[in-house]
Structures are given as C-alpha cells and as structure tokens.
Amino acid sequence: MPGPPTFVIPDVKPAAPVPETWSFSGLRDFEDCPRRWALARTPLGCFQGPIPYKPNKSAVEGILLHSLVEGYVSQLMDAPSEPFRPRRMLLKLIENWTKKNEKNPRINSKALAAQVAIEEVLRAFVQASARIERPSPPPASTPNAASQSKFRKNGAEVPLIDPESKLRGRADFITNGAIVDFKTGEPQVAHGEQLLFYASLFLAATGHAPRLLLLLYTANNQEVNVPVPSPEALIDSLDQTRRRVSDVEARLTAGDVPAKPEALKCSRCHVRGLCSPYWETLSQTPLDVAKPSLTDFNPSSSATVDAGAQGTYIRDSINGLNSTFYLPQEIAVKVGSNIRTIRALALRATPEPAGTRLAFTQFSEVFVTVDGPPG
C-alpha cells in the first residue's frame, strides 16, 4: 500500500499579503488564530502556492448541498416549468468535485467522493428546498417600483458588497428580503453572527434592512429565526466590523501574526504541519494511551533510529511513555538523507505492554524539513 502524503517543506515563516476583500469567516479566522490564517496563505514550493485545504467528508457534503441548492434556485428562476432532478444533479456535482480536486496532493478526491452520503445530502436538500420560494416582483402600482427593483437581491449564493470597505459576503439564499442560511453541522453562536453580518451588508448595498433572517439546520430541520436589528444597529455593527478590518490589516502589515494554540482547535487545524509553535507545545500535551487514539508526533533529540532494508524504526519517549514509530523506506527515499525534522500527523497511538505503538491512518500526513533547499 502507498505511504501517507509526504511533503518536504522549508522552515515556514508566515508571509501572507493583505487580502483584497474580507469575508465574515476570513476576519473571524484571523482573530481566532492569526498564524493559522497567515500560514494558510503563505506560498510554498512543494505546493506551487499556498497549502491546499484538506476537506473532510462533512465539508464535502456541505459544499455539495450548497451547490445543489444553487442549481435548484437557478432552474426555478430561469425555467420553472422544467422538472428538477436533484439526484442526477448531485451525481454530476460529485463527479465535477472529484475532477476539480484530483490534483490536491493532500487528499484522494475519488476515495473521499466515494464516502459522500448521497441519500443524506438529498434528504438535506429536501429540507432546504422547502424554504425556497420564487421572488415576487414589486407591484406595478407601487410608487418608484422600477427604481426599487434594482435594490432587490434574490437567488442563491447572492454576493453582498459593502460599498465603503473591503467587506464581502455571499448569502446562501435571499428571496423577497429574507436571508436564509443553510447549515449542515451543529448550531454555533457564530452562525447567528454571520447572518447579522449579511444583514448589515444587505442594508449597505440596498438601503433596506432585510425582513427576515433564518438559519436552517438541515441535519434535523431545525429553524432558528434571528431577530432583525434596527437599521441604526446594523449600521453601527458594520462600522465596528470595518474598524476590525483596519486593525487586522495594520497587524498584517507589521507582521503581527502570533499563534493562539489550544488543544482542540489545533487538533482540527489543517495547517498545523507548518506551525512551529504548535509543535513546540505538543510535547506538553499528555498522550491518552488508555485506548487507541489519534495523535501527532515529531521525534525528539533523544530519539533512537534503527534503519533497515524495508524502513526505519524510531523509538522515542512521548510524555514519559516509550513509543515506537515505523517510517516506510519509500518516505526516506522520497525526501533524501538530509532529514532534519519529521512531523507526522494523525497517527494511531495503540497501547502495548512495552509502550505505545504509533501507526499511520487514512488521515495521516508527513511534513519533513531537510538540510539545504527543500525539494
């Protein structure tokens, strides 16, 4: 079987430019961990650009659901008399996603696409589509109806632009002044904050506050109505967000991108293989060996290395526990003989009488730094 994805990297120093636009998630990601935000946008030779995002099954299903809703809304508006076939479109979307991501070296797009729960995505689509209605035009007798129509935003994946800043958004669905956001995961406080962000952009772009803000959780068909603030409150919120952008950009210009390590947050971070502060704190995190668990590992300076014809055994101590890690020969051949550091992600730690055995999983990756130029 082939080994895990292996990448030769330099000692990565965050070097992300100031972006041309800021979304709700981008601004929040920076404030949550500036170094993670910057590392995700730092060009690396082994990737010929920034490190690609590594989606999981749930993330792919969320992408597909949003694309399916967008296709449904498009047909509803352009050709409402034609039947919409969600299963046929979903299968085509999966095929397109697989081809688009087949060159992502961090995933096997075909294997990941095969894990998609098609029936679950279709069920979620049924829940989402039940909230979709065709937009109604303003009555012809309404004063200034023609001029008002240009302020109306309807459809799926609707862009929302603040005319006075870099702030941008993309609402899942807007119809007749109602903003609906579809969520495939569990409820979070940030979901309501994101919807309020869209409401402030909607006001800035149209001059009108939305009439309704709705979160729809497709996993259980839960609906959450978010109260619509007054126009004055939305304007104040938007002004505060603009000031946050100014502060973040000043920090970026100054190179102020510290890490904010937390155990749970770091375990889910898709750039932790590049983050030196994370690996510096990893040795301080106790390893739970009461049962098999996933862990990350980089050999310490006291590790012993036993090289053989088929591979290399690395014996080390993790939090005072003896551990053994097998590195296939193909990895050593790929990276050469000048390995300086090894960072192995998502290993299975299994307790044994003599200590802890570390083994690769389907989620594992290896990031290696070498003496001399990488690659």
pLDDT tens, residue by residue, 218-265 = 878 789 999 999 999 999 999 999 999 999 999 999 999 999 999 889
The sign of the torsion formed by the CA atoms of 224, 229, 231, 237 equals negative
> Exposed, middle or buried by CB within 10 Å (0-12, 13-18, 19+), for 48?
exposed
Domains located in the chain, CATH noted: 52-129 (no CATH), 150-253 (no CATH), 263-370 (2.40.50.140)
State the helix-helix crossing angle for 86-100 and 118-129, rounded to 10 degrees: 120
**What is the phi/psi pair of residue 345, to 5°?**
-105, 145
Structure tokens at 123: 């069920």
| CA–CA separation, 226 and 151 (whole Å) | 22
**Cα–Cα nearest to 149, from 163, 137, 161, 160:** 137
pLDDT in tens, 64-122: 999 998 899 888 877 777 889 999 999 999 999 999 999 999 999 999 999 999 999 99
Sheet holding 168-175, edge to edge: 155-161, 168-175, 178-183, 212-217, 222-225
Query: What secondary structure does DSSP assign to 220-232, as a single string?
Result: TTEEEEPPPPPHH
Per-residue confidence in pLDDT tens, the chain, 375 aa: 467 899 988 888 998 899 999 999 999 999 999 999 999 999 999 899 999 999 999 999 999 999 998 899 888 877 777 889 999 999 999 999 999 999 999 999 999 999 999 999 999 999 888 877 665 555 554 444 443 444 457 888 899 999 999 999 999 999 889 999 988 888 999 999 999 999 999 999 999 999 999 999 887 878 999 999 999 999 999 999 999 999 999 999 999 999 999 988 998 999 999 999 999 888 666 666 555 678 898 888 888 888 777 778 888 887 677 888 888 777 766 665 567 888 999 998 888 887 788 889 989 999 988 765 554
Beta pairing class for 168-175 and 155-161: antiparallel
| CA–CA separation, 59 and 186 (whole Å) | 13
Q: How far is CA 183 from CA 23, 60, 190, 201, in A?
A: 17, 13, 12, 20
Stated pTM of the model: 0.86
